[in-house]
Structure 1
Amino acid sequence: MPVKIRVMKDCIVITPQNTRELWGCLEGMSATYINQRKVKTWLKTFPGALNDTGEIPAIKRRKRF
């Protein structure tokens, strides 16, 4: 599974390139219990409009003409 890894000062962000794999990554990397309902709600309101097509999320921007 291709992933994108970003290392920042206080954290490491690991993002799967296939959005269908995201849930498996959350469960696999979690050190504590995950509330599935809260995660699904968070993903629906995620900035950048994650889609469930199995591809990289498409971000739609308005043209400024």
Structure 2
Amino acid sequence: MDETGVKCITEYTGFKANCLHPDVIEVSFYEFLDVNGPITDEEPIHEVYRYIAYRRLARWIWHRLSKKD
């Protein structure tokens, strides 16, 4: 990251747009529901959103998820 002068991933303009923008997370949430089915009352929604944002970050940085995904 040093070659761009950015010291933290959160300073990239693409980070907020890809990983934190509410509209992007909402669409990813619908994809999550398609793949995993509805969430239960025991699953706090903030944890699901955090999981989705983490997956978006991994896809953005490494261009893929784990072998099983």
TM-score by length of 2: 0.28
Structure having the higher strand fraction is 1
TM-score (norm 1): 0.29
